[in-house]
Amino acid sequence: MSVLDDLAVKIASGAVRMVDLTHTLDPDFPVIILPPEFGQCARFRMEEISAYDHRGPAWKWNNISMCEHTGTHFDAPSHWISGRDVPNGAVDEIAVERLVGPVVVIDCSEGASKDDDFELTPEVIEAWEAEHGTIPEDCWVLMRTDWSKRRGAEYLNMQDDGPHSPGPTPEAMRLLVEERNIRGFGTETVGTDAGQGMHYTPPYPAHYILHGAGKYGLQCLANLDLLPATGAVLIAPPLKIKNGTGSPLRVMAMVEEA
Amino acid sequence: MTERLKPPPRKNPQKRTVSPTSPPAMRSRASLGISAAAAEGRFMLQVCGECHAVQYPARDACCKCLSVDLPWQDVDPAGQLLAETTIRTSTNLYFRERSPWRTGSVKLDAGPVIIAHVHGDVERGARVRLENKLDRSGQGVLLAMPEERSPDMEDDPQLRAMSSDPKLRRVLIADGRNSNAVALAQALAEAGTSMIFVGESESWRPNPNRSALEKVPGVEMMALDVTDTSSVRELAGEIGGKTDILINNARFVRPGGVLERGDTAFAHDEMEVNYLGLMRLAQAFGPGMCGRTADGVNSAVAWVNVISAYALVNASDYGCFSASNAAAFSLSQSLRAEFRASGLRLMNVFVGPTEDDWHQPLPPPKVMPKALARDVVKGLRDGLEDVYCGDVAKDLRERFMAGPKILEREMTGGGA
């Protein structure tokens, strides 16, 4: 039996479990909020074209609109100024084999439950590695915070001084990118950076460091609590948008049952 | 004396909702001047440009000197009731359903004798003040009012048939995030509304108005985002059958003209909220409201849009925003025509720069939320179609009427 035949059988039998890491594209799902004088991220919208009626008797279809960075989405290197000149930095240029790959999950849910501004630091990463081994090269790293279980105002957690949600420090990003050479970094929050990430040096270190090195981002992920710390495979293909800086997408993981 | 309106009993769900009927709408073109004046609540008649004779009814040539120079002018509305009668039956459906109906003749101090509807509190032979009101066909008619205020006079059935009084009605304020939302809700509560639904978009981010809104008696916060068709339709499904007055105060405003911006992103948002938002609300709430305009004390009665006065002429500092309001203004005229058969009134409240974040660098005068709220309630009570709120809007409107091209040149710089 070929590898693919084997995989197909195991998916069908449940020996390989498929986990959906995606939120539903919903008009009322939070998006990142910038100061209002800046351009804003468009919310997901759906307008009916016809629904088996006088506008089209036998068919139903909708026009949809959104930002590249609405809902569960992929960040390409060209999203950030540091990645503007990275080769193959737009979603349509990324080789398809880069869109499927191994993934590790760093569980920060306990810390994030106590501290809205919980930081992923080199110490947290090293403690994780002490238990699970060194993070392999060219692998996705997901930061689990269980933030995806939050609803309504709790999700952005917007205060007078901006949003408060967990994220990585610049040092943690340098460790992951410069020393571990990961493929990409993903979070359950609205961005790869902490809610207060603008106050680090550099501001928004996840965006700045990841994309400057040609790495990818994933955000607004869900169901990370259903993934093992190591051993799963992530499938994260963005739409093939010409010069796209990102894309909503269906993110899935394959998990081999023990 | 007028009997005070009582809160209506709950509707009998076994009874068919009364279909709207209209009073006669046919007018000569000359007579439409009355309707145009009534839309703004002005008492105007034609006054001969040559012999100064005040004309009634409207005509094409002076009744004294045959001059055709008959401009409409504000005229002293004071007069005396000469004769009055109460009509108890009529071949016209609208009046038959509303009889008895009082009419009479009024001798205006300014000259002519006028046939008018007569408020129930006017005594025989009394001094009266004529008001020019829009009836449910959207035409101007004259109503003789008591010279002095009488208690509960706004509850007179004939007056209430012509006004859009919010008293005992249920109102939806579309945008609870707008800085005018709290003042609007407070003014409507004071005007005796029975329920105030307040739409709130994106409950996942803080709304600085929320706590103040929740303190206003009768306020219920409802999820509503005018840019989201499904949200608008869901709310209409929920409360569309008990929305008597809809106040569309949703607006998206950013400064900037075409070249200054360099992209269409904010313009897109402006059209989504200011133009398509109005359309979505109208498509979801309009039909239900049109079907309930004869539904008793708390019948559907009015649709209110808050529109920038720069819909009339563009202010290039807010050029793209002005354009989206011009689109909304034009759409409101279509909507008014579509509402006509039902008698649902569409009132546009034109405002100059408003007191909010986006007009912060502009010098006063700016429209304060309370001033806007006051004019909205007054406009509803007076049954108006066009309200110019604040000095800037009033001035702009006057200059627009005097010469749109001159105004345009003034607005684009170089004027004195």
On the question of pLDDT at A96 being above 90, the answer is yes
Tell me whether residue B293 is exposed, middle or buried, using C-beta atoms within 10 angstroms of its C-beta: 0 to 12, 13 to 18, 19 or more: buried
Each residue of A3-37: pLDDT tens digit? 999 999 999 999 999 999 999 999 999 999 999 99
Smallest Cβ–Cβ distance between A156 and the set B204, B227, B230 belongs to B204
Exposure of B280 in the CB half-sphere (CA atoms within 13 A): 24
Peptide bond preceding A170: is omega within 30 degrees of 0, i.e. cis? no
Q: Considering only alpha carbons, which residue of chain A is nearest residue B256?
A: A37
Mean of pLDDT values over B31-39: 97
* Residues of chain A contacting residue B266, judged by C-beta atoms under 8 Å apart: 39
Chain B residues within an 8 Å CB radius of A48: 229
Quick check: B293 and B344 in contact, CB under 8 A?
A: yes
- What is the pLDDT at residue B414? 58
What does the alpha-carbon distance between residue A189 and residue A120 come to, in Å, rounded to a whole number?
A: 13
* DSSP state letter for B9: P
Residue keyed to tokens 């405003």: B253
Bridge partners for B348 per DSSP: B305, B386
pLDDT in tens, A181-230: 999 999 999 999 999 999 999 999 999 999 999 999 999 999 999 999 99
> Is A30 in Cβ contact with B227 (below 8 Å)?
no
The two three-digit tokens of residue A236, written as one number: 């994260």
Mean of all residue pLDDT scores within chain B: 96
Q: Considering CB atoms only, which of A37, A39, A153 is closest to B205?
A: A153
- Is the backbone peptide bond immediately before B9 cis, with ω within 30 degrees of 0? no
**Is A211 assigned a catalytic role?**
no
Q: Do you find a cis peptide bond into B364, omega within 30 degrees of 0? A: no
For B251-267, the pLDDT digits (tens) are 999 999 999 998 999 99
At B97-125, the pLDDT tens digits run 999 999 999 999 999 999 999 999 999 99
Q: Is the pLDDT of residue B340 over 80?
A: yes
Beta-strand relationship, B140-146 and A232-235: unpaired
Contact A39 B229 (CB under 8 A): no
- The answer, yes or no, to whether residue B415 has pLDDT greater than 60, is no
The residue in chain B having the minimum alpha-carbon distance to the alpha carbon of residue A151 is B204
DSSP state of B240: G
**Cβ within 8 Å of residue B172, ≥6 positions away:** B197, B198, B199, B222, B239, B243, B245, B246, B247, B285
- The residues near A46 (Cβ < 8 Å, ≥ 6 apart) are A27, A62, A63, A64, B229, B230
Average pLDDT of the residues in B167-173: 98
For residue B138, give the nearest of B248, B254, B6, B24 by alpha carbon.
B24
Residues of A in contact with B204 (CB under 8 A): 28, 30, 152-153, 155-156
Beta bridge partners of B220: B197
pLDDT tens for residues A155-165?
Answer: 999 999 999 99
pTM for the structure as a whole: 0.95
Cis peptide before A202 (omega within 30 of 0): yes
What pLDDT score was predicted for residue A1? 84
How many beta carbons lie within 10 A of that of residue B149, not counting itself?
10
| B86 min Cα distance to partner chain A (Å) | 50
Structure tokens at B252: 């998206």
Instruction: Tell me if B204 and A40 make a contact (CB, 8 A cut-off).
Output: no
Residues 6+ apart with CB under 8 A from A78: A84, A86, A89, A90, A211, A243, A245
Min Cα distance A141 → chain B (Å) is 28
Strand B44-47 to B72-74 pairing: antiparallel
Across B143-172, average pLDDT = 96
Residue-wise pLDDT tens digits, B206-227: 999 999 999 999 999 999 999 9
Backbone angles phi, psi at B415, to 5 degrees: -75, 165
pLDDT band of B416, cuts 50, 70, 90 = very low
If you average pLDDT over residues B89-99, what whole number do you get? 95
**Nearest-CA neighbor of A139 among A176, A192, A194?**
A176
Q: Which residues of A touch B226 (CB under 8 A)?
A: none
Chain B residues whose C-beta sits inside 8 Å of any chain A C-beta: 202-206, 223, 225, 227-231, 254, 263, 265-266, 269, 357
A39, A45, A48 ranked by CB distance to B227: nearest: A45
Partner-chain residue, chosen from B203, B204, B230, that has the shortest CB–CB distance to A46: B230
Q: Is the pLDDT of residue B19 over 50?
A: yes
Closest by CA position to B323, among listed B403, B391, B268, B365:
B268
Q: How far is CA B195 from CA B3, B157, B220, B302, B346, in A?
A: 22, 22, 8, 15, 20
pLDDT at site A258: 78
Cα–Cα distance for residue pair A220/A147, rounded to 1 Å? 9
Nearest to A21 by CA among A246, A235, A238: A235
Mutate which: B179, B202, B271, vs A, most A CBs within 10 A: B202
CA distance B229 to chain A (A): 7
* Structural domains for chain B: 32-161 (no CATH), 170-412 (3.40.50.720)
C-alpha–C-alpha distance, residues B116 and B105, integer Å: 6
Catalytic residue chosen out of the listed positions A23, A69, A73, A79: A79
The predicted model gives A122-128 an average pLDDT of 98
ipTM of the complex: 0.92
Q: Which run of H or E residues covers position B347?
A: strand B345-351
For an interface test with B, give the residue of A45, A64, A161 to mutate (most B CBs within 10 A). Answer: A45
- Mean pLDDT across A35-58: 96
Q: Do B205 and A30 touch (CB under 8 A)?
A: yes
Chain B's closest residue to A31, CA to CA, is: B204
